[in-house]
Amino acid sequence: MELNVGLNLDLTGKHIVLGVSGGVAAYKAATLLRRLTGAGATVQVVMTAAATRFVTPVTFQALSGKPVFVDMWDDRIADNMAHIELSRGADAILVAPATADFLAKTAQGQADDLLSTLVLARDCPLLVAPAMNRQMWENPATCRNVALLRRDGVICLGPDAGMQACGEEGCGRMLEPEALLESVINFFAPKHLAGKKLLLTAGPTFEAIDPVRGITNLSSGRMGYAVARAARQAGAEVTLISGPVALPVPQDVTRVSVQSALEMYAEVMRRVKETDIFIAVAAVADYRAECVSPQKLKKAAGGLPEIRFVENPDILAKVAALPNAPFCVGFAAESENLETYAQQKRERKKIPLMVGNLIQEAFGGADNRVILFDDAGSHPLPAAGKSQIARQLIEHIAHLMEKK
């Protein structure tokens, strides 16, 4: 069945003032604006005069659907209180790019243009994404200013290292819009799992037969990665044991890459003692070849090759059976009889929570439809994007752990 509700609306209801100061990275602020509104936020753009030399206000106006303000004396705001009115009701001010000059002025509390004045007059959190030449970033004056800002509670996102517009290489690049979006979502997410250590498995496993062939499955890893990201956003310290997938590592998540079920099992067992929550999202192969041929298997002259299979350890069941086991969550991917099979699996593996989904709706796509099974019964969640489902799952886990 086609589900098409995978919109990532993590910032729905949030109002953000996006401050753009004058650096080359201002061009990336246009993409950032799109990402913020795409995630459901409303955005008011305020630019410095220097920023308008890089990108025109018209671009931001078209993308935000709101007038863009630059000048303190703008008479579009009747009482000339733009510096107060534009930030009232905002959930955060995000300045991206934040130049060395902007950071210096903000650290000193200077207010000589609209952006610096409204930052000084704010009653909401301030997030800054520095962007400057590496020497400017490393200059002791900038280091002092950033330290002062951090002490004042300003949240500093980045900068990143890499090739700079000036041709030099080093630290000072603005974080990419996607990374900034993730940081902003992280910032707002309720911290249901603060202080918890969470371990999870994701993706398929690959069970080698010979040096080039093996058995795997169509798991994309997207659900597991979405759960890892949601857990991190909820404040948990997250380690992700991942089978072979082509997905970026979620921000501030430790990823350990593995291939086979046995490797996955070993990496889980190495860490499980220090874990509060274990979520097994991986589609682990049930069987592996008893002997992996060191050489490529040749086509047999007569008859078919014989491969003997042996059973892989059930990682989830083994973790759940440990003394002092962490809070265990499993995923049951079924092609039919979801309710019955998922409940049976929950009982067999002796775990408090099983997430059931139909393979037809879960594998590969951006969306999913799941039912949560726990001691209280079954809780169907509406079809949604995997990131939304992951967030609801994390909330449910936090709720069950609170009751324990």
- State which of residues 90, 185, 316, 397 lies at the interface with ligand C5P (CB under 6 A): 316
Is 291 known to be catalytic?
no
User: Which residue in the block uniquely carries the two structure tokens 């729905």?
Assistant: 12
- State which of residues 46, 47, 98, 282 lies at the interface with ligand C5P (CB under 6 A): 282
Q: Does 164 engage in binding with ligand C5P (CB under 6 A)?
A: no
User: Rounded to an integer, what distance in angstroms lies between the CA atom of residue 132 and that of residue 360?
Assistant: 48
User: Rounded to an integer, what distance in angstroms lies between the CA atom of residue 15 and that of residue 37?
Assistant: 10
| Site stretch for ligand C5P (CB under 6 A), options 7-15, 96-104, 138-146, 308-316 | 308-316
Tokens of 181: 């979006």
Cα radius of gyration (the chain): 25
| Site stretch for ligand C5P (CB under 6 A), options 138-146, 237-245, 281-289, 373-381 | 281-289
Considering beta carbons, is residue 90 or 281 the nearer one to ligand C5P?
281
Q: Does 396 engage in binding with ligand C5P (CB under 6 A)?
A: no
Considering beta carbons, is residue 110 or 392 the nearer one to ligand C5P?
392
Q: What are the C-alpha distances in Å from 376 to residues 18, 353, 390, 400?
A: 45, 10, 20, 10
Q: Does 242 engage in binding with ligand C5P (CB under 6 A)?
A: no
User: Rounded to an integer, what distance in angstroms lies between the CA atom of residue 267 and that of residue 240?
Assistant: 10
Considering beta carbons, is residue 187 or 287 the nearer one to ligand C5P?
287
Residues near 84 by Cβ (< 8 Å), separated by ≥ 6? 118, 121
Q: How far is the CB of 3 from ligand C5P (least distance, A)?
A: 21
319-348 positions binding ligand C5P, by CB under 6 A: 330-332, 345
Catalytic residue among 143, 156, 166, 171: 166
Q: Which x/- pattern, by CB under 6 A, does the window 244-263 give for ligand C5P?
A: -----------------x--
Q: What are the C-alpha distances in Å from 205 to residues 261, 265, 285?
A: 6, 11, 6
Q: Does 215 engage in binding with ligand C5P (CB under 6 A)?
A: no
Q: Does 353 engage in binding with ligand C5P (CB under 6 A)?
A: no
Q: Does 223 engage in binding with ligand C5P (CB under 6 A)?
A: no
Size of interface with ligand C5P, in residues (CB under 6 A): 15
| Site stretch for ligand C5P (CB under 6 A), options 18-26, 37-45, 278-286, 289-297 | 278-286
Tell the burial category of 243 from Cβ atoms under 10 Å away from its Cβ (0-12, 13-18, 19+): buried
In 203-323 the beta strands, taken as DSSP E runs, fall at 207-208, 214-215, 237-242, 254-257, 277-280, 287-289, 309-311
User: Which residue in the block uniquely carries the two structure tokens 């398929």?
Assistant: 204
173-202 positions binding ligand C5P, by CB under 6 A: 201
Tell the burial category of 131 from Cβ atoms under 10 Å away from its Cβ (0-12, 13-18, 19+): buried
Residues that bind ligand C5P (CB under 6 A): 201, 261, 280-282, 284, 312-316, 330-332, 345
